[in-house]
Structure 1
Amino acid sequence: MSNFISEWGSTLTTGLGATLAMTAITLIVTIIIGIPLGILLVETNVNGMYPNRPLHAIFETIVNILRSLPFIILLFLILPVTQIVAGTTIGIRGVILPLVIYCAPYLARLVESSLLDVDPGIIEAYQSMGIKNSKIVFFILLREARSGITRGLTISIIGLIGATAMAGLVGAGGLGDIAYQYGFQRYQPDVMYASILILIALVQIVQSLGNWIAKKLSK
């Protein structure tokens, strides 16, 4: 064990750092895009506070198309776009765009589901008091749905960690890249298993923390 740590410890640490960096950067952009998109899916619906069928149809179509694409296919499909936007298709810079395109619609659907679970009677009560719809959305609806949104965000982060592992196939770095390069191509299963165990531990930490925060927010 000590020999393995001394030989591969720095490599695995670097890979973990790259995985965390990809996850953190993508998560920030995904939240900025995904949560507003989820709100728009709910509020532009026929039963929403800002019904707009054409706009809702556009959002629905975009989300459905992007969610139907497996990440590995999406990754290669938008390589030309990634090259234009990021200036590269490898490394952390080269994988952020496909990760965001993959995760943002997924988070939007989870946010939509959480918002739809809010009791409509609560919204009607505030509307009857003359409170503006915009204030209801941002100060009431999101507050009531915060526990569900947190659980959805937790699921999104776990999916994102899995996607970063697949991104290793295009040289994005991280634990997935280490598992592929060393564990598969160089036939060093101990390195692959170590990478997998770290990913499992990371997912367990995220899940436990997400459940704890969601439980606190539901009170």
Structure 2
Amino acid sequence: MNNNGFASYFQLSNVDWPKMWLATWETVWMTLVSIIVVAILGALLGLLLFETSNSKSAGARALNWIVAAFVNIFRSIPFIILIVLLLPATQAVMGTIIGPKAALPSLIISAAPFYARLVEIAFHEIDHGVVEAAQSMGATKGQIIFKVLLPESMPALVSGITVTAISLIGYTAMAGAIGAGGLGNLAYLDGFQASNNAVTLVATVIIVLVVFVCQFAGDIVVKRIDKR
């Protein structure tokens, strides 16, 4: 395709820029809100998996089995199917199944189990001698969690949340295909269905740029907090 053909195929003059910036903000908003909740929920689930993994208590083993089952099940369901399965719950909780708010339950439930496994792995990679030293000095369970586990695993946790955030950006694009708003919705409706290739191209470029910014920011944070 020559330059004239390329220009005719992707006519940027066909892009509704205010609508594009609104869709960009919706994608960023969905990702930010989701990642905050996922970071908290995933850390709690990962901590539960870690603390109950080698316990001899029957109650702890049962809790570990329940949490592990939840994590494994929801990690295994393809995101686009999970959205459909959660439509009744989304309607009940959010009051709508259309728009950025409606995408939040699916985004959170799909990403939190994934991050929980990353948290559990990060905790297991900590030198057990460090934990034993803290225990020998009389540290409580809470002190071990907040002064040993979290600080020692923080670089891995930040790397994990960066990977999860990038996955969430991709999920928002898929959610857009069924009316969740954002760049995915704009690329599908105003781009693909309207045969407006410029909209699809610009939306794709913006999504890639958001991913690059997210990865760059995560790498900088990891380098600053990694003392190894």
Normalising TM by the smaller chain, what interval?
Answer: over 0.9
Distance 1:171 1:140 in 2: 44
Where does residue 4 of structure 2 map in the other structure? none
C-alpha contact 2:25 2:182 (8 A) present in aligned 1? yes
Return the alpha-carbon distance in structure 2 between the equivalents of residues 105 and 142 of structure 1. 18
Is the contact made by 2:15 and 2:198 (CA closer than 8 Å) also made in structure 1?
Answer: no
Residues 76-132 of structure 1 show CA distances to partners (whole Å, capped at 9, x for unaligned) of 011111111111101012111111101111111111111111110100011111111
Determine whether 1:204 maps to 2:212: yes
Matched, 1:79 2:64: no
* Match in the other structure for 2:54: 46
State the TM-score, normalizing by the size of structure 2.
0.91
Structure 2: any 5+ residue segments left out of the alignment?
1-6
In 2, the alpha carbon distance for the partners of 1:16 and 1:153 equals 21
- Check whether the contact 2:159–2:219 (CA below 8 A) recurs between aligned residues: yes
Q: Which moved more, 1:102-111 or 1:142-151?
A: 102-111
2:117, 2:13 → 1: CA distance?
Answer: 41
**Contact 1:45–1:51 (8 Å) recurs in 2:** no
Q: Tell which structure's C-alpha radius of gyration is larger.
A: 2
- 1:141 maps to what in 2? 149
What's the Cα RMSD here?
1.9
Q: Distance in 1 between matches of 2:170 and 2:57?
A: 36
Displacement after TM superposition at 1:8 (Å)? 2.2
2:193 alignment counterpart: 185
Deviation for aligned residue 1:47:
5.5
Q: What is the rounded CA distance, in whole Å, between the counterparts of 2:85 and 2:226 in structure 1? A: 40
Please report how far the alpha carbon of residue 5 of structure 1 lies from its aligned counterpart in structure 2 after TM superposition. Answer: 6.0
Unaligned runs of 5+ in 1: none
1:88 matches 2:96? yes
1:165 to 170, 173, 181: 173
Aligned residues: 218
